[in-house]
Structure 1
Amino acid sequence: MNKKGFTYIDTVISLCVAAIIISMFILAYRELSNYSERAEVKNVVQIIKKARLSAIMQMVDVEVVLDGDEILVSNINDMKKVYKLEHLKFESSESFQFTSEGGTKSFKGSYNMILLSNKSKKKYNVIIAAVGGQVRYEEV
């Protein structure tokens, strides 16, 4: 008997193996996008902490404006730095000022802001302590 092609069983097994590999890739991609969102939230917290520390170390007031998918950090010496977010955006515009003594002033009276995910529609709440200026986040 001369075989010159694939049997039905060979084809079914090949398709099953391909389906398993594709499903593993899809699950890994979802985890990777969730990881990148959490990493970006941690990066936002670090930017805010760095602005507070900069205000204390340089003994100048530093203003942080959170608008859309941008973070603008500026001080009295007209030094401005813009950070662009890739996976997240702010729900509303917020503005804070860190004083040289380590205090925090909010222009809207609120010390938290909501970050929205562009893909997974998750929400992250970033909270700044009014007295000490400590920054933390939690997933909503």
Structure 2
Amino acid sequence: MNKKGFTYIDTVISLCVAAIIISMFILAYRQFTNYSDRAEAKRVVQIIKKARLSAIMQMIDVEVVLDGDEIVVSNINEMKKVYKLEHLKFESGEIFQFTSEGGTKSFMGAYNIILVSNKSKKKYNVIVAAVGGQVRYEEV
């Protein structure tokens, strides 16, 4: 038999293998974007915790402004640090003040902040405890 090309079976098998590989890449990409969102939500929690610890250790009040895609941490000595978010943004603005005794004041009256993913629109709820100033996040 003279064979000069692919048979129908060869073509179908090749297309099936290609489809499986492409679907694996798509699933891996979705997991990667979810991972980057979760990592940035953890980063937001760490920044807020660091501001609280800074207030306690330096015995000064520290203000944290959460607005849009940035976090601004400032204290009485007018030291200001700005953190930009890449994958998430805040649904609404919020201002917290951490006292030297470890307490927390919210100027907007809410102790939870909603973060929204830029790509997948997935939401994360960052919760700041009013009394102890503890911070955590959960996926909504």
Q: TM-score range by the shorter chain?
A: over 0.9
Structure 1 residues not aligned, in runs of 5+: none
1:108, 1:19 → 2: CA distance? Answer: 51
Listed one character per residue, the Cα deviations across residues 17-42 of structure 1 (whole Å, up to 9, x for unaligned) are 00100000001110111111111111
- TM-score, L = length of structure 2: 0.96
Match of 1:42 in 2: 42
Residue 23 in structure 1 maps to residue 18 in structure 2: no
2:4, 2:64 → 1: CA distance? Answer: 70
Match of 1:91 in 2: 91
Match of 1:113 in 2: 113
Match of 1:134 in 2: 134
Runs of 4+, deviation exceeding 6 Å = none
Where 2:115 maps in the other structure, the secondary structure is strand
Moved more, 127-136 or 3-12: 3-12
1:96, 1:113 → 2: CA distance? Answer: 11
Where 1:48 maps in the other structure, the secondary structure is helix
Match of 1:101 in 2: 101
Match of 2:124 in 1: 124
1:38, 1:15 → 2: CA distance? Answer: 35
State the AA in 2 paired with 1:126: V
Where 2:92 maps in the other structure, the secondary structure is coil
Query: How big is the alpha-carbon RMSD for the aligned residues of Structure 1 and Structure 2?
Result: 0.9
State the AA in 1 paired with 2:96: F
State the AA in 2 paired with 1:129: A
Structure 2 residues not aligned, in runs of 5+: none
Moved more, 116-125 or 27-36: 116-125
Name the % identity.
89
1:25, 1:128 → 2: CA distance? Answer: 37
1:112, 1:51 → 2: CA distance? Answer: 16
1:121, 1:43 → 2: CA distance? Answer: 18
State the AA in 2 paired with 1:119: K
2:32, 2:110 → 1: CA distance? Answer: 32
Query: Post-superposition shift, 1:43?
Result: 0.7
